[in-house]
Each structure stands twice: as C-alpha cells, then as structure tokens.
Structure 1
Amino acid sequence: MTGNYLPYIQGREIEWLELNLLKSNLPLSKSTVMSIATEVDENDVDSWFSELIDRGYDLDEHMYELRGNTLHPLISWEINPEYFLCLYFCYNGASKDSIGTKLFERISGIAMKNYIGGEIKTFGFPNGTNLNSFLDEIAPLCFEQRGTEAHSDYKDDGVDVLCYKNFGDNRSGNMYILLQCAAGINWASKSRINLTRWVRYIFWPQTNIITSISTTDYVDRATWVKRVDDFGLLLDRCRVINWYSKNIDTDLRNEVIQWCIDKNI
C-alpha cells in the first residue's frame, strides 16, 4: 500500500478508487489520487471521477458523491460487503481463492433466485457432489427426464448454479437458467455453456432453457451487447448486487464479512 491506500493498478482505476473509498470510509481528493498515481494527469483523474459517478446510476443505491474535486463515500464496506468482494476480485483476480469464489457463486445464485422468483440449486453446496449426482438431484425437481451420464472429465461442465421456476403443477416444461459464475479478471475469455450437452444430460426443452453468466466486473454499454451475445443472460456486479440486496441471506452476509476481514485489506 502507498500510505493508507491500495496501490494504483492501470486498467482498474475505478475499482481502485472504490476499494479505497469503501475501505477507509473517508473522502478522496483529486490531488491525493494524483500523488499516488503519479504518471496520470488531471484530465485522467477527472474522467475517472466522472465514470465512477456515472456507474453509480446502474446501482439501486448510490455509494459515492462528488463534491468539487473530492469523492465522498456514502457507505463503508461493512454496509455492502458483497459489493466489496466483487471489487476485490475485479482488482486482484480470483486465482487460488476457492472460499471467495464459492461465496460469489452463492451470492450470484441468490441474485438470480430473487430475479426470477424461483428456486436455485448450487453445484457442490453445501456438500460437494459430482456432476452426475447433481443431475440426478435436479431432474426430478424440474419434472424433467434424466438423460445420458456426463463424462467423468467434466467437473461441472461450466455450470455453477441451476435456477428454475416451476408452474407448480408437477409438470415439465418450466423455466430453466444455467448460470456460470466468473469471479476472475479474465472472465470474458471463458467458453459459453454447452447447451448441446446439457439437454442430453436432462431432457429439458431447448426453448425453455437459458444460459447465463455472472461476473464481478462492471460491463460498460460499449461492450454490453457483445457479452450478451457471447454468454446469454448477463449479470455484472451491479445486477448481482441490485438483485441480491432485495432479499439478503443473513448467514451468507456474515460469511462474506468474515472473508473480507480475513483479507486484511
């Protein structure tokens, strides 16, 4: 750290600003930013501040405000630790952090559950199961017929959470979403879920099933449509947090708070 601030990383300027604001819960001035990121000029910092405020309009609750040349946090990280977790992974990457990535999977699953008003089944939670055992469990939940066995090479075949919404009449042909959760920086290079295989594992009607991805990243409007084309239903960190916050899991929140504390950021 530089003083009490996290080190500046080029390409992650907004996440760097947010982490420092939420971590310290103190204002951050343009002059302070320029004293840390010494290679940038005033126009760069002005554009960062403007972008941070603009991004805030994609969140249900604003977290910062700009007064003159100074950013002011409106909350501390403890108020929204799930958002802080997303920022941390977007800034640092998620390699070798299985606990944190599993937390993000659970956060994403609850966000999707709140969004569709249905149910979720998270792969491997609470007790680790292999893919075929997972498929055996979810087929009857969806009132769909179990199909072929998944090859043993596939740990989860790209799916972290099944989201489904039944009609409540014990019949097939419901709504299904296959969600992959990408906590890492290089999420955009991931492969889309292979629906051809998944509709063999369980005989879901292809017209009723959607692929989806959640990411700790913020996806700007310039690349939004491309990422939707690449992955299907897209939940960037703003969508994840907006929908998770509509019905927060208290136990999960406590686990996320402890994870943040253990990081000693």
Structure 2
Amino acid sequence: MSPVEPPAHVLATFGLDGIEPIALGADWDGGWRCGEVVLSLIADHARAAWSAKVREDLYVDGMRLARPFRATDGRYVVSGWRADTFIAGSLEPRFDEMISMANRLHDVTRKLERPRFLLSPAVAPYSDVDYFGFADRAAWEEHPLAMARKLGALDETREDRKRAVELVGELAALRAPTTSEPQLVHGDLSGAVLFAGAAAPGLTDFTPYWRPAAWAAAVVAVDGLVWGGADDGLLLRWKDLPEWPQMVLRALIFRLAVHALHPKSDAEALPGLEHLAEMARWLL
C-alpha cells in the first residue's frame, strides 16, 4: 500500500494540481483518489507501464475497466506513480462472477504476447514480484521451490512455513501432465475486481502470468475458499473448465508456496490452506 500521499510534482505532472488526494484503502491496493483519477505507488516500472498499455486498448464484454490516465507529457508512470481512471465499487466475495469474468477476459488476452519481463531472472534483494514468481514456478517445475531454496529466498525457520513447504511437496507428487496451452492471464483477480451492485465487475489492474486460462480461474477459486468465505461447492460449479482438478492443484501449490516464501505471510492463513489441500485430494 502507498505509505505516503502523492507528492505535489506528481499531481502537477498528471494535471491534478489543487486536488486533495483521498485514500482508497484495500479496494485500490492503497491508491489515492484525485477527482476521477486514482494515483498508485508502483513497485515495478516495467510491469506498471505494460499494464497501462494493455488496459488502454482492452475491451471485454461484461467488464468495466480502469483505463490508464497519462501524464501531461504522455507518460504512464511518473516518479514511481501511475494514474488510472476511477471506477466505482469495492472488493466483494462474488467468486463465481469473478471466474465468469476471468473466462471472458482470457478469451480476449489469448492473442496477446508474453511480456519479456516474465522471463527475467530474480535478483536479490527479492521483491514481491520475485516471491510470486518463485511460487508460480513451484506449481509447475519438476522440483518445487528448488530454485528459491538455492537462491536463499526460502526461510523455513517458522513452523507454518515449514508445513507449507511440506504440503507443496505432498501435492506436487499428485500432479499429472497437462496439455492446456499457456497464454497471458491475470493471476490475482481476487484483489483487483470491484463490484458495485448490479453493474458489471470492474478491473483495476492486470497482474500478468503465462499459464493456462483455467489455472487463473482456479487461483480465484482457491482464494475464495481459503480467505473469502466461499462455499465448498465453488470447485464443483466450475468442474467443466479444462483439466480443472489439475489446475486447482497447481493453484493451491502456488498459494502454499507464496505462504512459504513471502515475508509478510500470515501464520493464521495456513489452516485454510491445509483444509483446501484435503479438498484438492478429494477432487482428484
């Protein structure tokens, strides 16, 4: 989340002089509303500029979208801040609608190319992007978390993290080969989709991964079951998506690996992940 308000020179460069920023909290990942524009502090310039460029021309039926708001000199990012058009709504546990939207979104993003930064190696000191990258690879590579451990990114001194690593190994043994083609997908929809009554769901940002579309939907289902209070029937309602049991398994390994790796992971989240691990075994 943004620790400070947007500085005056950033407001000026985006043409927002004289507007008092209003903190938006978790709904916009710590962004600040300035009239009909939201300013957000970014962690990675290349990813922020890429997301802005993609969202500038992206059109998906039944989805509202925060468009990039360029600075007066045409830039997407100014001194580590990006600007987007404000869309109404809040984060809500409407996971079936989220998955439905994900399917429509990924029908459109299938034609987009893989961003080069997704192939960039992680370099210490590691950032949020790096930890999520390690976790993403853990769900698919032959030896999960081997690279993270080799590079010193894995801290197993906390009991809940050690248990998460154990579960990653146990679940990885249940993986079977998949044939679904990877494509550009949004890998964190649960934190980026806003709902406002009966209006179409709104998307505030795009977090890119190069994985099968059904995997991205499975990440939403995992998030809903572990943290969002979704009912257990959520997994069954989407069982017709391609290779669904294996996609759920990999999505769960991904979230368990995030728990094991990320410095800010919360020990209280582990029981929900353990419960879902039992459900995943049943689904298989």
What TM-score do you get using the length of structure 1 for normalisation?
Answer: 0.26
Query: Which entry has the higher C-alpha Rg, 1 or 2?
Result: 1
What TM-score do you get using the length of structure 2 for normalisation?
Answer: 0.25
